[in-house]
Amino acid sequence: MAGRIRVRAQLSDGVTEVKALMRHPMETGLRKDADGNAIPANFITEVTATHNDRVVMQAFWGASVSQNPFLACRFTGGAVGDDVTVNWVDNLGETGTGTTKIR
Amino acid sequence: MRMKSISLRSLSLMGVVSAFFVLAACADSSSPEKGAASEIADVALANSVYDALMASTNDKGQATKARLRQDEVQEFCSKPRSDYGDAERANAIREARMALVQMPADGEFIGDWARGAEVANNGRGLQYSDDPAAPNGGNCYACHQMDPREVAYGTIGPSLTNYGARGQSEVMLQYTWTKMWDTHAYNLCSHMPRFGAQGILTEQQLKDVMAYLLDPASPVNQPLEAQQEN
Amino acid sequence: MKRLWTVPALALCSIALSAFAQDGGVFDQYREMLGDDSPAIFVIDEGEEYWYAPAGPNDVSLEACDLGLGAGVVEGAYAQMPRFFDDTGRVMDVEARLLHCMVTLQGRDAAEVHAKPYSGRGDMGTEMEALVAWIADQSMGSPLTPGQTHSEEQAAFTLGEQIFYYRAGPHDFSCATCHEQAGVRIRLQDLAELPNPEAARDIATTWPAYRLSQGVVRTFGWRMRDCLRQQRLPELIMGSEASVALQHYLSVKASGAPMNAPGLKR
Amino acid sequence: MVGYEESSGLSRRGLLRAGALLAAVMAVPGRVWAAVKRPDGAFKAEGIDAALASIASDAAVSDQIDLETPDIAENGGTVPVVVNSKLPGTTRVAILVELNPNPLSAIFVVPEGSDAYIETRVKVAQTCNIYALVEAGGQWYQASKETKVTLGGCGG
């Protein structure tokens, strides 16, 4: 059930604030499980936020971003009802996506 | 790129075939384990709480169900603080505890404060999640303030900052040692563990914590300003 | 309750606002910065999906499970547990009841569920954790009213109280060691004086909770198990008599307070 | 495909080049992922000096960067970080955690029309400084702030 992203986008005084929570373990590869086996690294490496089709934020991440990561950013030019989409891709090539409308 | 599915991972966990777990009460074949009191006779219990806990737990790692058996101190102290009652029995238990305290074999009370600091900071030991081969901690900071520069200290016990000001008279050494060895010798039903009597800490670890408390060079005995000047 | 998140094709759900214990303010700034963005929202959705997903040898969902308010009634059910169930003749918490339904409805092996009810390091959550998160969310705002009328319910309260004070193990710890006094803390963490109803309310109404330090939703039953671990005692079995009794004792102490779970905890 | 080299991390020339690429990509929706490559070498850098050098070793301290982190965190696994750059023409923001094994946590590319405002949560292994590095007008600037990480509850 990863791959999910919760996105909300709120317009206020001409600035749209995007907040996204992503379902992802963000494993560093440095931890061991209860049986002492190494837990393989698995973390989001890239995130983009788009407004309609325009990129409003791009991020490169390492494994030290927290589990189930949170990202907030702000842009101008949005209008109520416009689409905001957040996508991620991780080090294993898997992806997640979430969309909302500006309110 | 494929969509990731944690649900599959979670579901596969459910498919792990479990080791059979025993709900029925186990026989009390309690072999002596690290941390178990050996000198205290177990109180015979035909106790509903004990039975419920026996039926509700599984042995795990070093934390076996043998630990659910109470000794006399534990049984006497398993009540709300306001309700210890029976002063005569309390006194008898306290005196019995005092008689069992073992002072350091070589008469030396003071070890190395730096090693004592590690013991005081270490909260691990004797949990089923802990490595039985690693030394146990004293976890002193969970309950006591010690080095005044440490911000993360608990308040269940009194502050021990500047404890060394009490000096190192024989009386003081024996008192401090006894308090750590078996707190109930002085203060029956104290919340503090019996670090010596229950074998939680070794004699050397206890000496090192003694030094951490009493050595004038220990950070416990350095006022905040002193360190800031350094 | 704010409903801020929009997710196409997924049910909206409410989420507890930061339900942290009080601690003299040292972590106020930290908690303020975290706000109410809790990953528990994902787990709640996952729990709902588990509830409706056919599983086990019988390939049926848990929809016919009776959580105390009738088969399939989930709304408000969590707030009335633990409670006595006629069909099993015992007091059950949500975990014991779910296990019962998994075995009787879905035909699943109890030992298999017991093998891993709670997440370990590196896990993203278990079926049990997700189900409990969703079921608790379905009681958001309902007053906590565990059963107190049946003699078995009264016996569970008494047993829970006795276990709370039961000292054992190499460290001589009981629940009361840390949770009997008011106004004390362990390290920097404030400790709840649980026999005091006011303090018990803050605790019993905010489990299950997303535990930031572990990245998963933890249940009230898990919290009891972890207390026993820290007491240096053996592993508490999910849904066992002692686990249910402890939760019942604390829930009765807290009764009347509105549920505010899943909470968000350190 | 032009990208950063593993070994050299993020050189200034590379960043400028990447900035130009990003600008080009804006005009081509749907090709975002392939446009600017993640500087993998910088993320693998060990120790704060190497990590800073992999981005900009000569970043000047600036009071135009608002860096907000808690003074004391209840849990090092989840430490909120807010960066708001008031430097005109901010194009990039990096977050580093001084004493993490790999200090570089995140790099944000800020397109025209977006505020240089970032909020995220990072893991902080122990009490240390958190750095925000900001690129504006082709120059790098920095701000830092200490966050204390305490041992939780029973300490075990």
Tell me: the pLDDT tens digits for D26-45? Answer: 443 333 333 578 999 999 99
Do B147 and B227 touch, CB atoms closer than 8 A?
no
Cβ within 8 Å, pair A25-C124: yes
Question: ipTM of this model?
Answer: 0.84
Amino acid A36: pLDDT: 86
Given a cut of 60, is residue D108 above it in pLDDT?
A: yes
- Give per-residue pLDDT as tens, C50-92: 999 999 999 999 999 999 999 999 999 999 999 999 999 999 9
Residue B226: per-residue pLDDT: 57
Q: Report the distance separating Cα B183 and Cα A80, nearest Å.
A: 67
Q: Which one of C13, C175, C178, C227 is the catalytic residue?
A: C227
Per CATH, domain B113-229 is 1.10.760.10 = yes
- d(C-alpha C33, C-alpha C19), whole Å: 14
Least confident of B61-65, B208-212, C24-28: C24-28
Give contacts of C 215-254 with D, CB under 8 A. 215, 230
Do C35 and C18 contact (CB within 8 A), yes or no? yes
pTM: 0.85
- The CA distances from residue B162 to B119, B178, B222, in Å, are 18, 19, 7
DSSP at A4? B
Domains of chain B, by residue range, sit at 113-229
pLDDT of residue B210: 98
Average pLDDT (A61-84) is: 96
Enumerate the domain spans of chain C: 28-265
- Residue carrying the six token digits 């599984």: B58
Residue numbers in C near D70 (CB within 8 A) = 27, 29-30, 33
Q: Which residues of D touch A31 (CB under 8 A)?
A: none
pLDDT on residue C31? 85
Q: Could you report the per-residue pLDDT of B67-121, keeping only the tens digit for each?
A: 999 999 999 999 987 777 788 999 999 999 999 999 999 999 999 999 999 999 9
Name the 3-class secondary structure at D18: helix
Band of the pLDDT at B227, cuts 50, 70, 90? low
Which chain C residue's Cα is nearest to D79?
A: C30
CA distance to partner chain C, nearest, from residue D153 (Å): 5
Chain D environment of A19 (Cβ under 8 Å): 119
- For the segment C108-140, what is each residue's pLDDT rounded down to a tens digit? 999 999 999 999 988 999 999 999 999 999 999
Q: Cβ of A30 under 8 Å from any chain C Cβ?
A: no
Asked if B213 and B141 count as a contact pair (C-beta separation under 8 A), the reply is no
Task: Determine how many CB atoms are found less than 10 A away from the CB of residue A29.
Answer: 12
Contacts of B10 in chain A (CB under 8 A): 1
B152: closest CA of chain D, how far (Å): 6
Class of domain A5-101: mainly beta
Q: Which chain D residues are within 8 Å of A15, Cβ to Cβ?
A: 115
Name the residue type at position D63.
Answer: D
- In the predicted structure, residue C168 carries a pLDDT above the cut 90: yes
Which of B230 and B38 is assigned the larger pLDDT? Answer: B230
Decide if A68 and C122 are in contact by the 8 Å CB cutoff: no
Instruction: Indicate yes or no: CB of D153 within 8 angstroms of CB of C27.
Output: no
* Residue range B10-19: mean pLDDT, rounded: 33
C99 to chain B, any CB pair closer than 8 A? The answer is no
CATH assignment of C28-265? Answer: 1.10.760.10
- pLDDT value for D58: 86
Instruction: Find the mean pLDDT for residues C21-49.
Output: 84
Nearest CA in chain B to A36: B131
Task: Provide the greatest CA pair distance for chain B.
Answer: 75
C13 is catalytic: no
Q: Is D9 left (phi over 0), alpha (psi -120 to 50) or beta?
A: left
Provide mean pLDDT across the span D56-81: 93
CB contact under 8 A, A62 and D105: yes
For residue D117, pLDDT beyond 70: yes
pLDDT of residue D31: 34
pLDDT tens-digit series, residues A18-36: 999 999 999 999 998 888 8
Across residues B137-151, what is the average pLDDT? 96
Q: What is the pLDDT of residue C32?
A: 86
Closest in B1, B7, B129 to A89, CB measured: B1
Question: From the candidates B1, B2, B4, which should be mutated to test the interface with A, based on the most A CB atoms within 10 A?
Answer: B4
Following DSSP, what letter does each residue of D59-85 receive, concatenated? PEE-TTEEEE--SEES-TTSEEEEEEE
Q: Which CATH fold topology does D12-149 show?
A: Immunoglobulin-like (2.60.40)
C49/A8 touch (CB, cutoff 8 Å), yes or no: no
Output the pLDDT for position D152: 58
Which residue of D lies nearest to A77 if distances are taken between CA atoms? D113
Going by C-alpha positions, the residue among D102, D85, D121 that lies closest to residue D45 is: D102
Would you state the pLDDT for residue B219? 98
Return the domain boundaries, chain A.
5-101
* HEC profile of C154-188: HHHHHHHHHHHCCCECCCCECHHHHHCCCCCEECC
Q: Choose among A3, A87, A4, A90: nearest CA to A42.
A: A90
| Average pLDDT over every residue of C239-247 | 98
Give the count of beta carbons closer than 10 Å to the beta carbon of residue D61: 9
Q: What is the pLDDT, as a whole number, of residue D13?
A: 42
